[in-house]
Amino acid sequence: MATLLPMNYSNGSAPLTPSKHLSLRFSVHLSSKKTRRWLDADAVKLPRYHSLQLQPLSKSKTGPISATMATGSGKEVLPPVLTSNSEPPPVFDGTTRLYISYTCPYAQRVWITRNCKGLQDKIKLVPIDLQDRPAWYKEKVYPPNKVPSLEHNNEVKGESLDLIKYIDSHFDGPSLFPDDPAKKEFAEDLFSYTGSFSKANNSTFKGEADEAGAAFDYIETALSKFDDGPFFLGQFSLVDIAYAPFIERFQPALLEFKKYDITAGRPKLAAWIEEMNKIEAYNQTRREPKQHVETYKKRFAAHL
């Protein structure tokens, strides 16, 4: 017997009224198979349901994604990391593959985007051990020998900021980029600042210059520009995805090694971190703070 399960309704608006006709997405649990499936139904007339709350069906390139991002409900079983001893996948067989490292912040950007778009079944993760890279990755997949890279339509593309935009525009799922011209322009400014942001924090860890404070002041100011939500562009977008992996790492490392709390005196940043941590599509990619601390301890051992 199929049981109708309500979607997570989190956008703050009132529940749907029984008389409305619209496209809906239902999560149906088939108890006999212990699985979930999506059913799309157009022009469904809602019966009386009292407290049942249903979420309008998101379609490609329409409407902002919900802040709670329940996309890909359930914890994804991650594939094992491939090393120099691992056999290559059947490259260019029509499968879309995202080559990543579980520890790389650049790869994490694209991984988050994949999850937010609900593409876990359409884009296969292929994790690479960056300390023991398979020779076939450079020879057969991506000559620059870096992650992330995306194998799609018999081509392999790289560069994380390019890839998050590519996935958002070329695959189905909720849009992760605004239509508003002012927000688009500001988004490009923030994309351009990502390199300077990382460099400033890394310089602080190296003891070359204490630039982390100024970098996070820039972030606090950026988060204050739009007042229609807690994210960089008000609503959640690719910009948040671009910064999240790095702030996830810098926050515990700066606190551990520099005794510097990035949220002190920065309420917008504190609220942003709190909201980001509610996003399931992001949480599925996160690592424990102590793991980041250990990574930075090894990376900057000569300076800490």
Q: Considering the chain, what percentage of its residues have pLDDT values greater than 90? A: 73
pLDDT at 34 over 70: no
Distance of CA 4 to the CA centre of its chain: 28
User: What pLDDT, on a 0 to 100 scale, did the predictor assign at position 302?
Assistant: 84
63 found inside a domain: no
Pick the range with the lowest mean pLDDT from 7-21, 202-216, 269-283, 285-299. Answer: 7-21
Secondary structure, 3-state, 95-145:
CCEEEECCCCHHHHHHHHHHHHCCCCCCCEEEEECCCCCCHHHHHHHCCCC
User: What pLDDT, on a 0 to 100 scale, did the predictor assign at position 42?
Assistant: 38
Domain range for residue 197? 181-300
Q: Peptide bond preceding 79: is omega within 30 degrees of 0, i.e. cis?
A: no
Q: Whole-model pTM?
A: 0.78
- List the CATH number of the domain containing 137: 3.40.30.10
Residues 6+ apart with CB under 8 A from 18: 46, 47, 48, 49
Q: Is the domain of 240 the same as that of 191?
A: yes
* 90: confidence class by pLDDT, cuts 50, 70, 90: very high
Strand 124-127 and strand 97-100: the pairing is parallel
- Longest Cα–Cα distance of the chain, Å, equals 67
71 found inside a domain: no
Q: Which residues of 123-137 are buried (b: 16+ CB within 10 A; e: fewer)?
A: bbbbbbbbeebbeeb
What is the C-alpha to C-alpha distance for residues 155 and 211, in angstroms, rounded to an integer?
39
DSSP 75: -
pLDDT, average across residues 38-46: 36
Query: Residues marked as binding for glutathione?
Result: 104, 133, 147, 160
Query: Residues marked as binding?
Result: 104, 133, 147, 160
Pick the range with the lowest mean pLDDT from 4-8, 89-93, 249-253, 256-260. Answer: 4-8
143 found inside a domain: yes
Distance of CA 112 to the CA centre of its chain: 2
251 found inside a domain: yes
The domain boundary residue, chosen from 118, 148, 170: 170
Q: Is the domain of 193 the same as that of 120?
A: no
pLDDT at 125 over 80: yes
186 found inside a domain: yes
Q: Is the domain of 166 the same as that of 193?
A: no
Q: What's the token pair of residue 226?
A: 């739009």
Q: Considering the chain, what percentage of its residues have pLDDT values greater than 70? A: 76
The domain boundary residue, chosen from 112, 145, 170: 170
* Chain mean pLDDT for the chain: 83
Q: Is the domain of 190 the same as that of 296?
A: yes
Distance of CA 220 to the CA centre of its chain: 20
Q: Structurally, how many domains does the chain consist of?
A: 2
The domain boundary residue, chosen from 170, 205, 221: 170
Q: Is the domain of 226 the same as that of 257?
A: yes
AA letter at 58: S
